[in-house]
């Protein structure tokens, strides 16, 4: 009902610009193929679709209705994206996504979910043999003691060990990624609400 921008958390224009910017900094070019995980109402998609060659953007979300709301309201040229490329996927199974994907991003997705969901995404992303970089954001706690209690992030968000929004220890995140076959590097980008950006690359 016209509330698709608010549903995905606000800061629409700012966050969409940041997402496309970090992807470009990670090497995304118009001929590449992008998977936008947890894409919501296409906050990134409305910028990535005009940037990428037609048909090179794929998006998933737990609710396809929010993807379609973004498709209908936010794309300047809907002909550049077939709506069949907007896929309902609550389990990070990536059904129907082609093996052409070279870049993937999950922005402000995993802070809402327990760590096993991130592990599931790591495991299932391995099937994309051309995937170069997976960018994702999390909240971090600075040490083990702080991780066990609610922790106030730099932008004021209070994160938790056992409920959303979740935080992780960097060493636990690194171990989880390594066990699933990924090498992580932490980016220095300043992101909304104090999220931390990581780039994951497959260990092949």
Report the predicted TM-score, pTM, of the whole model to 2 decimal places. 0.94
Q: Measure the CA–CA gap between 162 and 95, rounded to whole angstroms.
A: 29
Q: Six-digit token pair at 66?
A: 């929010």
Domain ranges of the chain: 1-97, 112-126+147-203
pLDDT of 103-148, one tens digit each?
999 999 999 999 999 999 999 999 999 999 999 999 999 999 999 9
Share of the chain above pLDDT 70, in %: 95
Q: Long-range contact list for 12-18, CB < 8 A, 24+ apart?
A: 12/43, 14/192, 15/43, 15/107, 15/108, 15/192, 16/43, 16/44, 16/46, 16/47, 17/47, 18/189, 18/191, 18/192
């Amino acid at each position: 009902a016209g509330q698709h921008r608010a549903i995905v958390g606000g800061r629409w224009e700012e966050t969409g610009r940041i997402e496309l910017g970090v992807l470009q900094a990670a090497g995304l070019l118009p001929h590449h193929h992008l998977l936008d995980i947890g894409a919501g109402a296409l906050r990134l998609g409305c910028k990535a679709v005009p940037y990428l060659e037609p048909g090179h953007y794929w998006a998933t979300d737990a609710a396809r209705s929010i993807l379609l709301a973004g498709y209908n309201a936010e794309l300047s040229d809907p002909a550049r994206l077939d709506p069949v490329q907007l896929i309902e996927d609550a389990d990070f199974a990536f059904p129907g996504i082609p093996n052409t994907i070279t870049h993937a991003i999950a922005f402000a997705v995993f802070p809402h979910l327990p760590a096993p969901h991130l592990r599931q995404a790591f495991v299932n992303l391995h099937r994309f043999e051309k995937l170069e970089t997976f960018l994702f954001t999390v909240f971090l706690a600075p040490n083990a003691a702080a991780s066990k209690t609610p922790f106030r992030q730099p932008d004021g968000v209070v994160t938790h060990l056992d409920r959303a929004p979740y935080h992780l220890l960097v060493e636990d995140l690194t171990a989880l990624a390594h066990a699933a076959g990924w090498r992580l590097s932490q980016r220095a980008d300043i992101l909304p609400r104090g999220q931390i950006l990581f780039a994951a690359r497959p260990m092949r």
